[in-house]
Amino acid sequence: METKVYNQKGKETATVTLPERVFGIPWNADLVHQVVVSMQANARNPIAHTKDRGDVSGGGKKPWRQKGTGRARHGSSRSPIWVGGGVAHGPTNERIFAKKLNKKMKAKSLYTALSRKVKDGEVLFVDTLSFDAPKTSQAKSIVDALATIKGYEKFTTKKTNTALFLIPENNLEIKKSFNNMGNVEIDEVRNLNTVDVLSYAYIVFVDPKATIENLESRLTVSKK
């Protein structure tokens, strides 16, 4: 499977061969859904916490005697039906939402999502990004140039989660240049996961040879 490679001015410069085992996997909605739900659950940090009737202070004395008052019987003023009482079945920060997720599933779901993106024409390969100094104006000109490529016009019209640029290794000049663009995110390819792929309209691989090699290495690790 071959696809075009562009420069940062939006001009075609070469082609790259995409490995079938990464970009040619058939869609598997059940696997992708399971992995996404598991990753979101593992990232969840419970904050809300309520006190039940055993946690709130007071309520040690029976409000009134059991019989003879004409009122309903009560054993504690900290019952959930009393004002100032404990909360029944409320959220607690002790709850664990984590789900088990093995490496093979994570790798295959990532490749499945990328394969679907390639099929839908939402993956772009750029040979390199170069900046003399961190400049937002230069980053914007690159995005505008990539928007001239057929099928990628939304680079300039979509206001949120437009594109995720994946670079081979950390580059502060590139990150600082795109930092003020709220619809574009820069990250290292080693951090790519299924949730990221599904969260952005376009995925842009910078330096295709290096980034694709990194993706393929995950399959090797998962087999081990």
Tell me, what CATH number does 214's domain have?
A: 3.40.1370.10
89, amino acid identity: H
What residue numbers bound the domain in which 34 lies? 2-44+101-223
Helices (H), the chain: 20-23, 29-42, 103-119, 136-146, 172-178, 194-199, 208-223
Co-location of 79 and 176 in the same domain: no
Listed residue (193, 204, 223) closest to 125, CA to CA:
204
Listed residue (45, 34, 38) closest to 100, CA to CA:
38
pLDDT of 123: 96
Query: pTM to 2 decimals?
Result: 0.81
Co-location of 87 and 168 in the same domain: no
Per-residue pLDDT of the chain (224 residues; tens, 9 = 90+): 889 999 999 999 999 999 999 999 999 999 999 999 999 999 989 999 999 999 999 888 899 999 999 999 999 999 999 999 999 999 999 889 999 999 899 999 999 999 999 999 999 999 999 888 889 999 999 999 999 999 999 998 899 999 999 999 998 999 999 999 989 999 999 999 999 999 999 999 999 999 999 988 876 654 54
Residue 119: partners with Cβ closer than 8 Å, 6 or more residues away: none
Co-location of 87 and 197 in the same domain: no
Co-location of 91 and 122 in the same domain: no
C-alpha pair distances (Å), 38 with each of 17, 34, 117, 155, 196: 32, 6, 21, 30, 14
Co-location of 125 and 157 in the same domain: yes
* pLDDT tens track for 153-202: 999 889 999 999 999 999 899 999 999 998 999 999 999 999 999 999 99
Co-location of 114 and 14 in the same domain: yes
pLDDT of 220: 63
User: What DSSP state is assigned to residue 123?
Assistant: E
User: What are the phi and psi torsion angles at 4 (to 5°)?
Assistant: -80, 150
Would you tell me how many other CB atoms lie within 10 Å of the CB of residue 45? Answer: 6
Co-location of 107 and 210 in the same domain: yes
Q: Tokens representing 170?
A: 């950390």
pLDDT of 224: 46
Degrees, nearest 5: CA angle 153-157-161:
100
Question: CB–CB of 175/214 below 8 Å?
Answer: no
